[in-house]
Structure 1
Amino acid sequence: MSLPTGVHLTIAPPKGGEDILSHDAIEFLAVLHRTFDNRRLELLENRKKIQDDLDRGKPLTFLPETAEIRSNLAWSCAPPAPGLEDRRVEITGPTDRKMVINALNSGAKTFMADFEDSNSPTWSNIVLGQANLRDAIRRTIDFEISGKQYKLSEKPAVLLIRPRGWHLPEPRLLIDGKPVSGSLFDFGLYFFHNAAELLKRGSGPYFYLPKMEHHLEARLWNDVFCLATSQLGLRQGSIRATVLIETLPAAFQMEEILYELKEHSSGLNCGRWDYIFSFIKKQRAHKACVFPDRTDVTMTVPFMDAYVRLLIQTCHKRKVAAMGGMSAQIPIKNDSAANERAMAKVRADKEREVKAGHDGTWVAHPALVKIALDIFNEGMKGPNQYHVRREDVVVTDKQIADPKVPGKITEQGVRDNVSAALSYCAAWISGNGCVPINHLMEDAATAEIARVQLWQWCKYSSKTDSGKIISPSYLTPIFSEEASKVAQLPGIDSAHVKIASEYMQGQVKAHWPSDFLTSDLMLHLEGVGVVGGSSGGKKAAL
């Protein structure tokens, strides 16, 4: 390959992805990297400083220095871009070819194609995912398996892309000896190849932005958008981005985040599973924040309810979409009673959301699209609910950080966390980031909740409702038993289960848990560190 000066690939492009990693595309990435990476790294350092303050007991609050932004009623965000006026049901999933076609044909209003939590960032997944989206935009995508053909419908869903978070690098592309940001890699390749084509077709480059912890991180994204648009000679303001509020610090800065992205903003989303993970992780130093079984941490517990009400009020105050959260249920075949119970949970969740004032919701499986659509069609007669201002809502900083969650820690809850963490981590190392577990389509957020809960219970010697003290030694036989079960699952490599088990057992003994399991496990992916899933395997050249 012909690469720009100062650029190095540690691994060749996968077959079918050579033109995605063209000279001009990588040169575009190099401009983004050289302009913004130092700021990105400074903002990641700022996260550490905030965490140190939290560990010492300093509470999170609404920022006094940005009070004027929150009190000023004169500003609002950009109007909805074409195709984003009505987002009542959005489907999400990774970017493999069959998934892209099925999601776009699902009947949902939009499809969030995911390079983040439901994607394992293998080199093939990342690069060929970009090729699949390029083909989908140009209506040339098709797929055949076992004699069955998959093609796009006449009116597919509107496409949105979720790049990786600011914390994740793409270590297979080095610029001036440093790995490029995964965020800039995913955004940059998609924008370079597709932005002009999308605008020509009457749509636009639309994004979901994950894992932000500060409004200055949103400002960085806004600056990236402005430069990228200028570099390609496109109309400023053509990008739209919805921010997932899925970290505890971001819940205190919703208005500031919208303000930073004003001309590019299309709203906020309740990234609720990652939000639970962040809530535990950020308040890791406080025993009062120990939670019961994760099944007890529902949307109606005080801190979750406060966050949802504030998000809806904030978005509608600034005239953008307040998107609801994910229903991860998938159809349960051969058990109609169990399937009906699962679908009843979906209906109840979506009814709660539409009545609260949400403008749309997420589902993980095409079979749930009609259920969610029926409920939002009944409860939301217009394209959105921006007129539902929720001026009755008053949410305090103490309510956002309220750790009270009724429930118990059960032995089954402990075992379920071990099983979920091992199942997901082993699948992720194998290249699958969207994993069916107990009739739920799980992504990294579930494994992260399981991981930090196990750590938290060990850290504070929590007791199960049967009186057993949870400790690393208590968990050791459970890890062994559950690892044996997970290793028998279809498509799971026993070597990857071993890696997952060793990793998780190290985590529960740590003084503090790692920030992200995806960062920790990246070295097991091809072209990054260990090739083949064995800790004694071949090292990729870096």
Structure 2
Amino acid sequence: MAVPSEKLVSRPIEIHADTTGYEDVLTPEALAFLARLHRFAEPRRRQLLEARRQRQVCYDAGVLPDFRADTQAIREGDWTVAPIPAALEDRRVEITGPVERKMIINALNSGAKVFMADFEDSSAPSFANQLDGQVNLRDAVNGTLEYRAPEGKLYRVGPHPAVLVVRPRGWHLPERHITVYGEPIAGALVDFGLFAYHNARALLAQDRGPYFYLPKLEAMEEAALWDEVMALAEDELGLAYGSMKATVLIETLPAVFQMHEILHALRERVVGLNCGRWDYIFSYLKTFRRHRDRLLPDRGQVVMTVPFLKAYSELLIQTCHRRGAFAMGGMAAQIPIKNDEDANDQAMDKVRADKLREVQAGHDGTWVAHPALVPVAMEIFDRHMPTPNQLQLKRDDVKADRDTLIAPCGGTITRAGFDNNVEVALRYTAAWLEGLGCVPIHNLMEDAATAEIARSQLWQWLHHGDLVFTDHAPIDLALFDHALATHTHRLQGSTLPGARRATDAARLLAELTHADELGSFLTLPAYEQLA
């Protein structure tokens, strides 16, 4: 059946975009499936987002996040998660990236154990990008994925690809191009639902499964909603209960106080937790946006060995291993530096040191953003983790209390750090508005999480008043405006990603930075300007 463009179904589900070329993805049956997921999840999703807002009101008033009294029995109980599928027992190196066709092939062929195909922070969610991603992943699952480069080179998936895990968008992000009875559907349900509908059975037939990474959760109730959505999807698709497996990113400060509870809410299908370090730093900034005593220094100084981040990662290991789940390490944002051997050696040494810290602490695997980093990380984990994982390492020595988990971080605010934040926030936002979700800037792969750190730090430094740089010069909005104008002019005159949207990005960044309140997510207002 041909699918017309602009509007697919008059009621209950409507598509407000050109669907040409996506007819076999947006089938009437697949859309009906999405509508059922929406009707089930939307009321609770809205309640949970309002609960987030109310928590932030409390934090702004001076309340500090803490472990929940009402869930003490879960934390102290003797329980474990369901057995982990054989395909996921060894996850020592995972590669992540957007759902772009060539990227998927290179990631599957990279030698990593897992490829996390990302519809979220490394993708700009234009309607075409998200649906192209669904086409690309369907072809990967079916074994037909290939890509011919403009110069003629043909890329195909090799015989031993990485295990595919999909990250849908977070609960907070809408998909404005699809509405159900006039309401935008959650982007999370679109990404999850279309992938599950078209690929779940084929994956299970391959002794794989519909495996997912769940982002941005703040509370056990948000995890419980995902569990119920997956159970509904399994029922609708005729799959056995628990066929869908999930790994949860602990990338918000509130979530670190509910790791046992999140695992418990998903205990029949959860495989592990992941240290989403960059979003976690952003969440620390956002949670404490009104707390002058918890400002963070330059991003480069906020490393995983500072007390609040060290406690976070080690408590995650202890929690996961107590419950029989994997504790995944964080992202290495470095990328190869081709024209400077010394600089490249220094970057790779940073990756090795980071991965050595993770494996020695007890992590069961780690993340990289570039295929060239897979053998670097793999060598470290192979040498120090001869077994498929480290579930036997319980880390009973870890004592991470509330105060340690939220401890202020010492350091300085420098002119270079301020200027870098302006540049990263501007260049990333401009590239995102052009449809790119991950952008190399100064030899680091920046995504939405790292851009959020830059944006949030700027807002905090500028709105707490009387802050100064290490040279005692004042940090003020006039300085920000000058730096933003300078970088906008440079970007406009370049061939860099985002050059065409530099003015739009600068206008948005200025508005967010001058605002009296730190916006919850950069991608929400930016989405309204995305083609």
Answer yes or no: is the 8 Å Cα contact 2:433–2:498 preserved in 1.
no
In structure 2, the residue matched to 1:231 is 236
Q: 1:469 Cα shift?
A: 1.4
Q: 1:3 Cα shift?
A: 2.8
- 424, 427, 440: which one aligns with 2:428: 424
Q: Does 1:304 align with 2:309?
A: yes
CA deviation digits over 1:58-110, x for unaligned, max 9? 1111000000000012x101111131000000000000100000000000000
Aligned-partner Cα distance in 2 for 1:493–1:446: 17
In structure 2, the residue matched to 1:19 is 24
- 199, 202, 211: which one aligns with 2:207: 202
- Secondary structure of the corresponding residue to residue 65 of structure 1: coil
Q: Does 1:96 align with 2:100?
A: yes
Task: Give the alignment's TM-score, normalised by structure 1.
Answer: 0.95
- 125, 136, 142: which one aligns with 1:138: 142
Aligned-partner Cα distance in 2 for 1:49–1:318: 30
CA deviation digits over 1:193-215, x for unaligned, max 9? 00011001111000000001111
Aligned-partner Cα distance in 2 for 1:356–1:419: 34
Segment drifting more, 292-301 vs 504-513: 504-513
Answer yes or no: is the 8 Å Cα contact 1:332–1:339 preserved in 2.
yes
- Secondary structure of the corresponding residue to residue 70 of structure 2: helix
Q: Percent identity of the aligned residues?
A: 50
In structure 2, the residue matched to 1:173 is 178
- 364, 369, 373: which one aligns with 1:364: 369
Segment drifting more, 2-11 vs 61-70: 2-11
Answer yes or no: is the 8 Å Cα contact 1:14–1:128 preserved in 2.
no
Q: Does 1:443 align with 2:447?
A: yes
Q: Does 1:412 align with 2:406?
A: no
In structure 2, the residue matched to 1:529 is none
Aligned-partner Cα distance in 2 for 1:375–1:295: 23
Q: 1:500 Cα shift?
A: 1.2
Aligned-partner Cα distance in 1 for 2:256–2:63: 16
The within-5 A match list for 1:419-498 is: 419-461=423-465, 462-498=467-503
- Secondary structure of the corresponding residue to residue 436 of structure 1: strand
In structure 1, the residue matched to 2:154 is 149
CA deviation digits over 1:462-484, x for unaligned, max 9? 21111121121121111111112
CA deviation digits over 1:163-203, x for unaligned, max 9? 00000000100110000000111000000000011001111
In structure 1, the residue matched to 2:90 is 86
In structure 1, the residue matched to 2:117 is 113
In structure 2, the residue matched to 1:7 is 13
In structure 1, the residue matched to 2:58 is 53
CA deviation digits over 1:376-396, x for unaligned, max 9? 000101100000000011110
- Secondary structure of the corresponding residue to residue 482 of structure 1: helix
Aligned-partner Cα distance in 2 for 1:507–1:453: 12
The within-5 A match list for 1:183-222 is: 183-222=188-227
Answer yes or no: is the 8 Å Cα contact 1:61–1:397 preserved in 2.
yes
Query: 1:211 is matched by which residue type in structure 2?
Result: K
CA deviation digits over 1:392-446, x for unaligned, max 9? 111101111112x222111111100000000100000000001001111111011
In structure 2, the residue matched to 1:355 is 360
In structure 1, the residue matched to 2:402 is 397
Answer yes or no: is the 8 Å Cα contact 1:472–1:505 preserved in 2.
no
Aligned-partner Cα distance in 2 for 1:42–1:7: 22
Number of equivalences: 523
CA deviation digits over 1:2-54, x for unaligned, max 9? 53731111102253x22111110000000000111010000000001101111
Q: 1:494 Cα shift?
A: 3.9
Q: 1:491 Cα shift?
A: 4.5
In structure 2, the residue matched to 1:535 is none
- Secondary structure of the corresponding residue to residue 112 of structure 1: strand
- Secondary structure of the corresponding residue to residue 117 of structure 2: strand
- Secondary structure of the corresponding residue to residue 186 of structure 1: helix
Aligned-partner Cα distance in 2 for 1:495–1:336: 32
- Secondary structure of the corresponding residue to residue 246 of structure 2: strand
Aligned-partner Cα distance in 1 for 2:216–2:46: 15
Query: 1:245 is matched by which residue type in structure 2?
Result: I
Q: 1:493 Cα shift?
A: 4.6
Segment drifting more, 486-495 vs 348-357: 486-495
In structure 1, the residue matched to 2:67 is 62
- Secondary structure of the corresponding residue to residue 447 of structure 1: helix
Q: Does 1:516 align with 2:521?
A: yes
Deviation >6 Å, runs of 4+: none
Aligned-partner Cα distance in 2 for 1:91–1:376: 14
In structure 2, the residue matched to 1:44 is 49
Ranges in structure 2 where 5+ consecutive residues have no aligned partner: none
CA deviation digits over 1:306-352, x for unaligned, max 9? 10110000000001110000001111012111100000000000000
Segment drifting more, 53-62 vs 246-255: 53-62
CA deviation digits over 1:126-174, x for unaligned, max 9? 0010000000011100010111010010010000000000000001001
Counterparts in 2 of 1:396 and 1:493: CA distance versus 1, 3 Å: closer
Aligned-partner Cα distance in 2 for 1:322–1:93: 20
In structure 2, the residue matched to 1:327 is 332
Aligned-partner Cα distance in 2 for 1:420–1:31: 40
Aligned-partner Cα distance in 2 for 1:469–1:204: 55
Query: 1:182 is matched by which residue type in structure 2?
Result: G
Q: Does 1:506 align with 2:511?
A: yes
Segment drifting more, 460-469 vs 201-210: 460-469
Aligned-partner Cα distance in 2 for 1:157–1:488: 40
Ranges in structure 1 where 5+ consecutive residues have no aligned partner: 527-542
Answer yes or no: is the 8 Å Cα contact 1:90–1:362 preserved in 2.
yes
- Secondary structure of the corresponding residue to residue 64 of structure 1: coil
Answer yes or no: is the 8 Å Cα contact 2:247–2:270 preserved in 1.
yes
